[in-house]
Chain A
Amino acid sequence: MKNIISYDNVEIKYGDNIAVTDISFGVGKGEILGIVGESGSGKSTIIKAAMGLLGEGGTVSGGDILYNNRSLLNVSKKERLNINGPELGMIFQFAGSSFCPVRKIGTQLYEVVKAHKDISKEEFHSQVNELLDKLGFEDTVRILESYPNELSGGMQQRVGIVAAMLLNPKVLLADEPTSAMDVTIQKQAVEEMLKVRDVFGTSIILVTHNIGVVNAMADNLLVLRHGHIVEMGKTDDVINNPSEDYTKKLMEAVPRIKVSN
């Protein structure tokens, strides 16, 4: 299968410190790749590099990141606007805090779309209603008329997923999207993201420390440690038959619920 986004021997530095090195993988259309690792393993850094969000001092010092055979490195600010959003969408850990607290959700979502394409309010409304419908939201009017703090944390996060999907990106980059959630809401969010993939054929790169979430979502799994890839393969294989010691140790440490004796 042709890869829509691929990393080729990528090395990323913060100042003089190497954060990740030798990162190579590819994600095909409609595929979900999970990247797991413990804190400090560099997992967030990997997806931030694709979005150009490494921040001050962070640089891709080796290799290349390709999106549809086009390099995502050294992209001008103007081109970035056409990539981040319409091509690559991003979901953050705390979506609630990425909304402005004093303006209604609907207005803010409209601005997101408006920044990228010329669209009337009516067109926007029919589009957003359709999207909310497809993703299984109820009382869409209430959500759009709410201020961010009037929605629960879980609902804010789900709206964050909607915001990322409004521009119908080909790839969704999710940085710990469910880590601040209670389990029941986490399950909803996971189902939402799976629906996004099924309905729109979006590819997803999912960064998380939660093995349960990748198990439920990812087709392929990449295990990261200290900035190196430890193991990569089909999710089932990696979780149930890890070949590396570290992966074994990691998987053993994950508490699993026993449903029967």
Chain B
Amino acid sequence: MDNILEVKNLNCIFNKGRKTQVNALKDVSFELKAGECLGIIGESGSGKSTSARIITRLVKASDGEVVIDGRSSSDISNKELYKIVQMVFQTPVESFNPRVKLGDGVGESLRNNGVSKSETKERVEKLLVECGLPKEYYDKYPHEVSGGECQRAAIARALANEPKILICDEATSSLDVTVQKEIIALLNGIREKRGSDISIMFISHDIALVQQFCDKVVVMNKGQVVEKGDANEIIMNSKEDYTKKLIASVL
């Protein structure tokens, strides 16, 4: 199996040279194989989200390389990158413009890539249905639907351009557990249907959830990778003290 995503020696420093300097990432490296699901766990400030935001270019790395599908990310234009990598955010409702219909939000990338209005509508409705929403939700506004439904729409939006990499940044953390279970089932369905065409990077502080859902796991602490490998292996027989402490803290 090939690596669809390789992160090599990423460093990220915020407020460089100032008193408030934070080394958010220190030599972070990990890789995601095609068709795999990689969990990233760690406490707040561990650098999980920063890694994701560097991959999606919402934050600039100070140093290091991201390789996507065998090509250095620096050689890929924004337009192309966002057809390959997509992200689902922690806050479902806030990730949609309150003044724009859900359907238009989901179809935004299609419209930006020159798909006609009528075809976009058709494809968006299909995506909504695939993500477990009735197609009438096209015309709803974000505040009219529940958080779980909004997150389904956000997943539909992320899938619109058939990305190869889907990053879920604490995508279920703000949801109730029963809703979380439904979203995980939806993601499992998406993985089953697309096989090695989709790889997921699943960022979460919920270790039990990561163990259930992911094949591999990366444990991060204070901007560094503590440990990485097979999810069950690491969570059941960790060799690192930090990981052991983290797992022992789960109630």
Q: Which residues of A contact B (CB under 8 A)?
A: 38-39, 153, 182-184, 186-187, 190, 209-213, 215-216, 249-250, 252-261
Contacts and interface: CB of A to CB of B under 8 A. Distances in A.
Nearest to B181: A253
B245 A38 contact: no
B211 A183 contact: no
B235 interface: yes
A255 B176 contact: no
Given A38-B178, A257-B211, A257-B250, 19 more contacts: A39-B147, A182-B44, A182-B205, A183-B43, A183-B205, A183-B207, A183-B246, A183-B251, A184-B245, A184-B246, A209-B177, A211-B177, A216-B251, A250-B177, A254-B177, A255-B206, A257-B235, A258-B208, A259-B235
B205 A259 contact: no
Interface residues of B, number: 25
Contacts of A190: 251
A196 to B, nearest CB: 17
Interface string B218-244: 000000000000001001100000000
A250 B178 contact: yes
Contact of B176 (A39, A182, A261): A39
A257 B208 contact: yes
A153 B245 CA distance: 19
B176 A38 contact: yes
A183 to B, nearest CB: 4
Interface string B68-107: 0000000000000000000000000000000000000000
A181 to B, nearest CB: 9
A256 B207 CA distance: 9
A213 B249 CA distance: 11
Contact of B180 (A186, A249, A253): A253
A187 B248 CA distance: 9
23 contacts: A38-B176, A38-B178, A39-B147, A183-B246, A183-B249, A183-B251, A184-B245, A187-B249, A187-B251, A209-B176, A209-B177, A210-B251, A211-B177, A213-B251, A253-B177, A253-B178, A253-B181, A255-B177, A256-B208, A257-B235, A258-B236, A259-B247, A260-B236
A179 B180 CA distance: 16
B13 interface: no
A186 B245 CA distance: 13
Contacts of B208: 254-258
A199 B206 CA distance: 31
A255 B208 CA distance: 5
A170 to B, nearest CB: 26
A190 B206 CA distance: 17
Contacts of B129: none
Contacts of B179: 38
A193 to B, nearest CB: 12
B212 interface: yes
B247 A257 contact: yes
A186 B177 contact: no
B54 interface: no
Contacts of A250: 177-178
A242 to B, nearest CB: 13
Across the A-B interface, give the 9 residue pairs with the lowest CB-CB distance, nearest first.
Answer: A212-B251, A182-B43, A255-B208, A38-B176, A253-B181, A253-B177, A255-B209, A257-B208, A183-B249
B42 to A, nearest CB: 9
A210 B173 CA distance: 12
A253 B179 CA distance: 8
